[in-house]
Structure 1
Amino acid sequence: MDGWIADWRQKNSRGRRRPWLWLLVAVLMLFTGTGWGVMNYAWKQVTLQVDGREIVTRTFAGQVGQLLKERQITLEAGDVVLPALDAPVTKGMVVTVKRAVPVKIIADGREKELLTPPATVAEVLNKAGVTLQPEDRVTPDLATTVKAGDTIKVTRVTYKVETVNSEIDYQVERRPDGAIEKGITRIVQRGQKGILEETYRIVYEDGQEAGRELVATRVVKEPVPEIIAVGALNMASRGGYSFRFERVIWAVATAYTHSGSRTATGVYPRVGTIAVDPDVIPLGTRLYVEGYGFGIAQDVGSAIKGNRIDVFLDTEAATARWGVRRVKVYILR
């Protein structure tokens, strides 16, 4: 009897101790799970993009700045971090470090160098405070991403409209006139130049003219043609004689007399001998000189050049009376 009671007490004692054991196991599992959960929540996987590399890492850092410090990533002036340094670190986050590169900007006659993270030309100009006008030309293109050592050139392009007046040459009309001797001309109507108005669109690059385009023309004043009557008459009557001629010229006529020398053609001068410029009237040409009469081109003179002649007279008194005259000289056939 005593043995049965002892066995019962021992089994009852074991039954009372088992709940405490299970309670302890439960508490341990609770703390273990909580710790794992807390650690799993605080330990985040992120991706770092820096210096051309992509690094996948886990971190307990709370902010991006702490993450970079933890990974010993040093930032230089002009570097940009995305997201910002004070942004909280979250699971799966991608943190990008854009290193600044040196870039030169040429605009408005000045050069400027600055450090900038890789960005488009438009973004760099905006950062540098360079304002663009619609007509400005930028090299490289605004959408281009800059690289270290790139030069951005801004060419200021402006336009101006300019009006220029120029002369229009008049035409010359030559009309035969049978009332005028052949070789003689007379101006019937004097020509007048017209005025042409031209409008240009001029392009300037950095203040210097780079080109112009004619956009409009207008005749402000029409030119007036010059009308010249051209002699067609080739027959003349003088002193009861009628003769045909090839042409008539106006000439300045002087007179000379005996000097004892022969003429350029080797004969002694006499009335009817006329000195001429052979480039105008060939020697040997038969002539009729108003106020003098018929003659032959037989002599030359140092002062007889162009439309000048020297007629021979017998006496000094006659040459003095002749003086200097403007006469018509008929070149005979």
Structure 2
Amino acid sequence: MELVHKLLPASKKKLVISSIGVLALVLFSVFVLVEATKAEVVMTDNGEIQTISTNSNTVGDLLQELGITVGTYDFLSHDETESIEDGMEITYKTAKQITVSIDGKEQVYYTTADTIEDFLSEQDLSFQERDEISHQPAEVTEDGLHIEVEKAYQVTINDGGEKKKVWTTGGTVNDLLKEADVDYEKDTDDRITPALDEEVTKGKTIAIVRVAIEDEEVTETIAFDIEERQDSSLLKGEEKVISEGEEGTVTKRFKVTKENGEEVSRELVSEDVKEESVTRVVAVGTKEEVQESNLVTLANETPKDSSQDGETITVTASAFTSECGGCSGVTATGINLGANPNMKVIAVDPNVIPLGSKVWVEGYGEAIAGDTGGNIKGNRIDVHVPSKSDAYSWGVKTVQVKVLN
């Protein structure tokens, strides 16, 4: 500068100094003008707030100036083509990638929501309270977050015949029964299917068979026997009770198994006779009497003595009465037993004893072989008696039969 001063005349010096001053003034004016034309913008970038003075014309220019590239799923409060204005507030959020797995099926989402609750609402994903979600609704979303959801389903529990449906997201049968407050004991006879350690599946029914084993004591009567004694002082067909029979009693103990309250088996454990039965003794008449037949063909015939000669056959003899249900009371040979209840008639197999034959039957007397029967085959006969009680008294016997003619 001293050299300039020395070389230039005073007038020239003044001119140089003046030019430098003008240039500085111009530059200062330009700077002031540029600064004066800048817009002041409040920029919120993923939660960070800063105030920016910018000469950018559009929002896109400002973002480029700040090195921000807006992705497809990112949030920007203004369109990138919108002009910058002083005092403008611009908000930008980078989208986060979140994977949601529902019952093992995955789907990827992008969101700028701050919390999981907001994200689920944004994506219209709703779950029931009983569904199992890996994260709490109030948790903050993060890029790369993986949310796992197991949706609850219904399982039927048949507890001793009473059915109820419960919600579950899986686990073992044992876990489910505990969740459903179903009481059971492992060391009992109860049966649970599927097994306690098996996994529960959708639509499965868990069955509990409640098994109860009880001791039961029962007192039963013992029927008395009937003893028949032949009595020659009584006419045949007559009976007289010599001594009444008495029923006895026995106490039986059973082991009774019940399933769901229903008896399924009964096992006799012991029996104790408390009182023995007393046999009933009945006198049965054996005295013969001559009977008159109502049949015209037999009316005037004199019955043969049972001791006369004739073919003797050993047969099984039961008894019948015209009072039986469905019986007409008329025999195969036309004898009306309904009108003649005391008539001695027997049913025979015609191949063994010819129909119409006179016979003598041990313990019954003389009779007519006047009827047949579906069960009367071979050496078997059926003797006619006046009443059902007489038939019961006769029972089934083995007797001798003589064919008299």
TM-score (norm 1): 0.40
TM-score (norm 2): 0.34
| Higher strand content, 1 or 2 | 1
